[in-house]
């Protein structure tokens, strides 16, 4: 008599064929060599780009990222781009990215480094002052916000937290809120495109000094642009740079301040979108020079995403801006501010 615990060989063979068929069908669902073979929702959640956008990035970065050989199971260009984008989007530890992608931490680090350097090589193509639109279009776009005239850009700085083990220069990176950071200056247009970036200063450096020593300031002083920047009281008022009245004592001065505040909030919103799109900017665990390169790379990616109309992330409420105010304005700047107030805000 046959044991009740021994299956019929014919039935067992049929089950094996069913399982093998299911495995073959599952294997055709996605090519492991093509990490872009997912639905756009899946890709956006992990990488902040659609399949079409990631394909564009792969084509753009291939000359810089492609390996000379595929020996030792070297990553393909799409794999390298996906690894870097996953790190930018999540801000998680590199070994966690490696676990998710089934590769080593060293491989993750090398892939991110290649992509960061490739993106920073394109900064002058995608981050352009005045921007990618005609100057008058930018001026009109800002004017429609609150009636502030001749604005060609909103400017501010934002602190990106970094790791604390910085050696003998550690004190330079402690900012006014007593945490380690790099201080990044950006300008934007009315459509939240980053139009300039200064990413090289420690967190202890004041916003006004970063602007004063920037190439953008020097070009504005030379009269190379016809228009105004708008910023907060962290900067001095100049003929090409409007800041609020420190103590408005008339209605026109108050109206001027309100209009300027509503206009310059574009740069705060740009920071919010940038940090929501790339969570790594909420805290970088790399050396300061590499942190500056990562921020620049994310600014390039932000502009690529904006130009290609990739899905914008939901932006959480930003903490109130803490301003270390400048108490002295340029006399010529005050004169221009008064003239604009009399002409537009009386």
Average pLDDT across each block of 10 residues of the chain; the chain has 346 residues. List them in order: 53 61 45 73 91 96 84 82 94 83 88 97 95 93 98 97 81 92 97 97 96 96 95 96 95 97 96 96 94 98 97 77 78 97 96
Domain containing 48 equals: 40-120
* 21 occurs within a structural domain: no
Asked if 278 and 195 sit in the same domain, the reply is yes
Contact 310, 53 (CB under 8 A): yes
Residue 20's Cβ-side half-sphere holds a number of Cα atoms within 13 Å equal to 6
* 216 occurs within a structural domain: yes
* 22 occurs within a structural domain: no
pLDDT reported for residue 4: 47
Between CA 326 and CA 233 the distance in angstroms is 6
* 2 occurs within a structural domain: no
Asked if 269 and 299 sit in the same domain, the reply is yes
pLDDT reported for residue 319: 65
Contact 262, 141 (CB under 8 A): no
What is the 8-class DSSP label of residue 80? Answer: H
From 105, 120, 135, the end of a domain falls on: 120
- Give the total number of structural domains in the chain: 2
pLDDT reported for residue 80: 94
* 99 occurs within a structural domain: yes
Asked if 191 and 302 sit in the same domain, the reply is yes
Asked if 182 and 109 sit in the same domain, the reply is no
pLDDT reported for residue 134: 93
Q: Characterise 121 by phi-psi region: left (phi > 0), alpha (psi -120 to 50), beta (else).
A: alpha
- Exposure string (b/e) for 21-30, b if CB count within 10 Å is 16 or more? eeeeeeeeee
pTM score, whole prediction? 0.87
Contact 126, 303 (CB under 8 A): yes
* 253 occurs within a structural domain: yes
Asked if 326 and 188 sit in the same domain, the reply is yes
From 120, 144, 166, the end of a domain falls on: 120
pLDDT reported for residue 140: 97
From 101, 120, 139, the end of a domain falls on: 120
């Amino acid at each position: 008599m046959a044991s009740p615990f021994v299956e019929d060989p014919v039935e067992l063979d049929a089950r094996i064929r069913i399982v093998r068929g299911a495995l073959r069908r599952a294997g055709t669902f996605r090519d492991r060599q093509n990490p872009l073979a997912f639905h756009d929702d899946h890709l956006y959640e992990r990488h902040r780009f659609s399949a079409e956008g990631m394909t564009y990035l792969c084509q753009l970065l291939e000359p810089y990222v492609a390996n000379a050989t595929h020996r030792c199971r070297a990553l393909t260009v799409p794999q390298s781009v996906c690894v870097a984008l996953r790190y930018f989007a999540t801000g998680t530890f590199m070994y966690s990215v490696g676990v998710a992608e089934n590769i080593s931490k060293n491989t993750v680090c090398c892939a991110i480094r290649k992509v960061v350097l490739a993106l920073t090589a394109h900064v002058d193509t995608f981050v352009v002052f005045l921007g990618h639109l005609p100057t008058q279009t930018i001026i009109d776009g800002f004017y429609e916000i609150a009636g502030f005239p001749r604005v060609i850009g909103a400017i501010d700085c934002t602190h990106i937290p970094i790791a604390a083990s910085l050696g003998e220069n550690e004190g330079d990176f402690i900012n006014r809120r007593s945490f380690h950071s790099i201080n990044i200056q950006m300008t934007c247009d009315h459509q939240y495109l980053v139009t300039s970036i200064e990413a090289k200063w420690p967190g202890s450096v004041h916003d006004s000094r970063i602007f004063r020593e920037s190439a953008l300031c020097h070009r504005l002083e030379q009269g190379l642009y016809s228009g105004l920047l708008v910023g907060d009281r962290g900067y001095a008022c100049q003929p090409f740079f409007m800041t609020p009245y420190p103590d408005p004592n008339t209605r026109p001065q108050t109206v001027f301040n309100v209009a300027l505040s509503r206009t310059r909030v574009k740069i705060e919103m740009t920071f919010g979108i940038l940090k929501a799109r790339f969570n790594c900017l909420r805290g970088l665990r790399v050396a300061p020079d590499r942190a500056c390169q990562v921020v620049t790379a994310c600014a390039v990616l932000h502009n690529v995403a904006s130009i290609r109309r990739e899905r914008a992330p939901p932006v959480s409420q930003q903490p109130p801006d803490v301003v270390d105010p400048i108490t002295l304005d340029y006399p010529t700047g005050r004169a221009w501010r008064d003239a604009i107030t009399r002409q537009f805000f009386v």
